[in-house]
């Protein structure tokens, strides 16, 4: 919806979408019927911002420290794939070229530095444990996602996996050097496909 609202004024030739890591988190606390029937995943951050603006004390779904159900990762992966495919069609129909990039994740990095491990440990303390229940399955989830998604996506983990530098601030957010490394990977992908 944001893309469509900005399209007339921007008229982009290329649209890049970086996704996967945050979607796994938000979908892990989603309402099952939203995922199953609409392929939508609950996004607590938007609600949190609204609550802060209005100084509300009403608890959000993400405030509860228990899981109501087991996470259905198959359904989550289908939902993420459906939304990326949908966005790709919208972008392509407007004449722009779509590039989907899977978020680089610290868990996929072979040589994690002490700074990265410390940053991840500190970040994990601020979230309920069930937000990160996918971490132990991340490699198989990535593999399964690549098999089911019906549009071409590029895995930005290739840019960070074998690096021995500190590239991550926590489990998903890159530092300045990490951003440079991933930006060059994206540039090379686009130049190879131009």
Q: Does the pLDDT value for residue 85 go beyond 60?
A: yes
In the three-class reduction of DSSP (H, G, I as helix; E, B as strand; rest coil), residue 16 is classed as strand
Average pLDDT over residues 113-137: 84
Residue-wise pLDDT tens digits, 19-57: 998 888 888 777 788 888 888 887 777 788 888 888 988
What is the reported pLDDT for 123? 87
Secondary-structure breakdown of the chain: helix, strand, coil percentages, each rounded to the nearest 5: 55, 10, 35
Helix then strand count (H, E) for the chain reads 9, 3
What is the reported pLDDT for 118? 97
Residue 172 is given by DSSP the state S
Identify the sign of the CA torsion 42, 120, 179, 175. Answer: positive
pTM given for the model: 0.86
What is the reported pLDDT for 130? 67
What is the reported pLDDT for 44? 72
Q: Predicted confidence band at 155 (pLDDT cuts at 50, 70, 90)?
A: very high
What is the reported pLDDT for 28? 77
Q: Which residue has the higher pLDDT, 125 or 64?
A: 125
Longest dimension (CA), the chain: 51
Average pLDDT over residues 188-192: 96
Q: How far apart are CA 80 and CA 63, in angstroms?
A: 23
Extract the tokens encoding 8. Answer: 């007339």
Mean pLDDT of the chain: 89
What Å distances lie between residue 15 and 6, 58, 79, 96, 150, CA to CA? 12, 37, 21, 7, 18
Q: What are the residues facing 155 on neighbouring strands?
A: 102
What is the reported pLDDT for 113? 97
In the three-class reduction of DSSP (H, G, I as helix; E, B as strand; rest coil), residue 144 is classed as helix
What Å distances lie between residue 20 and 58, 101, 115, 166, CA to CA? 29, 9, 23, 21
Q: Does the pLDDT value for residue 68 go beyond 70?
A: no
Q: Which residue has the higher pLDDT, 62 or 118?
A: 118
Q: How far apart are CA 106 and CA 187, in angstroms?
A: 21
Average pLDDT over residues 133-150: 89
């Amino acid at each position: 919806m944001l893309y469509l609202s900005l399209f007339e004024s921007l008229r982009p030739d290329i649209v890049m979408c970086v996704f996967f890591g945050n979607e796994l988190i938000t979908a892990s606390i989603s309402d099952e019927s939203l995922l199953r029937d609409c392929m939508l995943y609950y996004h607590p951050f938007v609600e949190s911002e609204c609550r802060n603006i209005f100084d509300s004390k009403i608890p959000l779904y993400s405030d509860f420290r228990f899981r109501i159900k087991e996470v259905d990762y198959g359904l989550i992966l289908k939902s993420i794939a459906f939304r990326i495919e949908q966005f790709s069609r919208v972008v392509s129909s407007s004449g722009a070229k779509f590039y989907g990039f899977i978020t680089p994740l610290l868990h996929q990095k072979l040589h994690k530095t002490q700074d990265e491990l410390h940053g991840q440990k500190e970040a994990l303390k601020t979230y309920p444990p069930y937000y990160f229940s996918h971490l132990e399955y991340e490699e198989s989830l990535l593999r399964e996602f690549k098999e089911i998604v019906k549009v071409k996506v590029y895995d930005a983990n290739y840019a960070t996996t074998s690096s021995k530098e500190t590239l991550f601030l926590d489990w998903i957010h890159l530092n300045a050097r990490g951003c440079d490394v991933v930006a060059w990977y994206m540039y090379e992908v686009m130049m190879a496909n131009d």
